[in-house]
Amino acid sequence: MESVIALYVLADRPERQREPSLVEQARDGSRAAFGQLYQQYARMVHGLLLARVPHSEVDDMVQDVFLLALRRLTSLRDDRAFAGWLAQIARNQAIDYHRRTPQTTELEEGMLRQKAPEPEALEVLDVIRGMPDAYRETLMLRLVEGLSGPEIAEKTGLTADSVRVNLHRGMKILREKLEGRAAP
């Protein structure tokens, strides 16, 4: 009877509560469990990095963040803190990128053949990158990665109210700055 109740409880638990078991399995060497964690958090990491580093570097850095997380998984003390821990690894990787990357680089010939992003999108991205971290991250995760407010809260460890406030204030600042640029 006890095992039936345990199965019922496990089936009824929300995704976030099952997360520690995935983390635990990944820590024990399960590549499949780590793959599931990657699927759940790759968009969050992508958005956090996109807010901080050049677009051309983001995809590679997402992979680097997850490789580093896999190597350091044994240092995570609380499995429930995985999302915040992973987000901090992404932030630190972005900081490290700026420490080691020279401020100017030469364009390679192959780069000239790539389709350039729309100027409006680059303008919005520049404005968002100039905002404080709280607004920058939530706006990137919402506008670029398409995450909902509750998804952002779950993935970053912020409260739903904090995410809502950050999105509201961030959008207000974004509108004001874009309107200011459009004025002649």
CATH of the domain at 134: 1.10.10.10
| Residue 2: strand, helix, or coil | helix
Judgement on whether residues 44 and 94 belong to the same structural domain of the protein: yes
Of the two residues 2 and 183, the one the predictor is more confident about is: 183
Span 147-160, pLDDT tens digits: 899 999 888 888 99
Tokens of 31: 């590549």
7 found inside a domain: no
Mean per-residue pLDDT over the chain, rounded: 82
User: According to the 3-state scheme, what is the secondary structure of 115-163?
Assistant: CCCCHHHHHHHHHHHCCCHHHHHHHHHHHHCCCCHHHHHHHHCCCHHHH
110 found inside a domain: no
Domain that holds residue 68: 14-102
> Alpha-carbon distance 95 to 33, whole Å?
28
Tally the domains of the chain.
2
82 found inside a domain: yes
Residue that is last in its domain, among 102, 123, 144: 102
Judgement on whether residues 98 and 119 belong to the same structural domain of the protein: no
Judgement on whether residues 94 and 137 belong to the same structural domain of the protein: no
For the whole model, what pTM was predicted? Answer: 0.63
Residues in the chain: 184
CATH of the domain at 66: 1.10.1740.10
Span 71-104, pLDDT tens digits: 999 999 998 899 999 999 999 999 999 888 666 5
Judgement on whether residues 65 and 136 belong to the same structural domain of the protein: no
Cβ–Cβ under 8 Å, residues 143 and 174: no
9 found inside a domain: no
pLDDT of residue 5: 40
| Residue 64: strand, helix, or coil | helix
3 found inside a domain: no
| Of 52-66, 113-127, 139-153, minimum mean pLDDT range | 113-127
